[in-house]
């Protein structure tokens, strides 16, 4: 099994959360605290992340590793007797969620993708991405983890973060095992991912895309995807790539709305 954390009511509708690269199940705590009165929330550590770093030998991923990730997550949920659930995935977690939707569509009640890429479509883009990811993996394997993280959070996709927020993330992520992360990073490179642009049209459930208003790259991608497939785009103000970190209350309220649960605003 993968490491996980559960909150809320067993027997209520289940929501499964998958974090992004460098994250852990703890990243969803602000969200699950707001949802636990209405849902059974399960946050899972991806292979090589969180407490799964202790079981690296058992969870080394092949390349590509998306199918294996989907199998590990599904096996964990089966052990927990969870067979139908809403699936929420951020960034890398969203890309893995798309593979789960492809492999196990009958298990999903709905699919919520946050700042998630459905896949590169040209061979040239895949070659360029593979070279770029190999360079990052080399840095991850050879540099002190704090130096790697400082470089990582200077990328344009994280430009909405203040220097204080960047430093906080560097501190928070510095306890990670770089070799475990490097395995997961290369195995789940966007260059290794299937082209999943058509998956929403193959599902009998609602597919939602949540994007931060300040994340111009993924806003544009989501708009293009929405023109091709039956996905619903939801924009949250005052947030960038990591919406649930920047605006946890708004994110949780949006999930409640998407899952058709009445919101009690009496204490607001």
Q: What pLDDT is attached to residue 59?
A: 67
Question: What pLDDT score was predicted for residue 54?
Answer: 66
Per residue in 53-81, pLDDT tens? 766 555 689 999 999 999 999 999 999 99
pLDDT, tens only, 113-143: 999 999 999 999 999 999 999 999 999 999 9
Residue 250: strand, helix, or coil: helix
Q: What is the pLDDT of residues 74-113, one digit of tens each?
A: 999 999 999 999 999 999 999 999 999 999 999 999 999 9
d(CA 209, CA 46): 21
- Domains, the chain, ordered by start: 4-123+193-258 (3.40.50.1820)
Select the more confidently predicted residue: 5 or 10.
5
Q: Which residue has the tokens 């790539």?
A: 241
Tell me the pTM.
0.95
pLDDT, position 52: 85
- For the cut 90, the answer to whether the pLDDT of residue 51 exceeds it is no
Neighbour count for residue 189 (Cβ, 10 Å): 24
Q: Distance from first CA to last CA of the chain, Å, rounded?
A: 39
Q: Note the pLDDT of residue 140.
A: 95
Closest listed residue to residue 200, CA positions, set 260, 88, 112: 112
Please report the pLDDT score of residue 60 as a whole number. Answer: 83
Q: What are 233's strand-pairing partners?
A: 209
Q: Say what angle helices 163-173 and 145-152 make with each other, to 10 degrees.
A: 140
**Coil vs helix vs strand at 111:** strand
At residue 66, the pLDDT reads 98
pLDDT tens track for 141-178: 999 999 999 999 999 999 999 999 999 999 999 999 99
Residue 34, pLDDT score: 97
- At 268, is the pLDDT very low, low, confident or very high (cuts 50, 70, 90)? very low
Instruction: State the pairing for strand pair 206-212/108-114.
Output: parallel
pLDDT for residue 53: 73
- What is the Cα–Cα distance from 205 to 255, expressed in whole angstroms? 15
């Amino acid at each position: 099994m993968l490491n996980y954390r559960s909150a809320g009511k067993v027997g209520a509708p289940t929501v499964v959360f998958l974090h992004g690269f460098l994250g852990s199940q703890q990243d969803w705590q602000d969200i699950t605290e707001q949802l636990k009165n209405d849902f059974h929330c399960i946050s899972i550590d991806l292979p090589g992340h969180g407490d799964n770093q202790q079981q690296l030998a058992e969870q080394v991923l092949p390349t590509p590793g998306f199918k294996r990730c989907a199998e590990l997550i599904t096996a964990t949920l089966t052990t927990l007797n969870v067979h139908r659930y809403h699936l929420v995935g951020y960034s890398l977690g969203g890309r893995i969620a798309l593979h789960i939707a492809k492999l196990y569509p009958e298990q999903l009640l709905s699919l919520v993708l946050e700042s998630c890429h459905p896949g590169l479509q040209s061979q040239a883009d895949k070659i360029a991405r593979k070279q770029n990811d190999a360079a990052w993996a080399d840095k991850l394997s050879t540099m002190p983890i704090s130096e790697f993280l400082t470089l990582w959070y200077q990328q344009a996709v994280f430009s909405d973060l203040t220097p204080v927020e960047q430093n906080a993330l560097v501190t928070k992520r510095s306890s990670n095992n770089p070799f475990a992360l490097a395995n997961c990073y290369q195995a789940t490179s966007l260059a290794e991912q299937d082209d999943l642009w058509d998956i929403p049209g193959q599902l009998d459930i609602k597919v939602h895309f949540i994007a931060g208003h300040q994340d111009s790259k993924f806003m544009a991608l989501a708009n293009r995807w929405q023109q091709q497939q039956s996905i619903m785009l939801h924009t949250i103000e005052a947030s960038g790539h990591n919406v649930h970190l920047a605006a946890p209350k708004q994110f949780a309220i949006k999930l409640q709305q998407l899952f058709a649960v009445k919101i009690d605003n009496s204490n607001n």
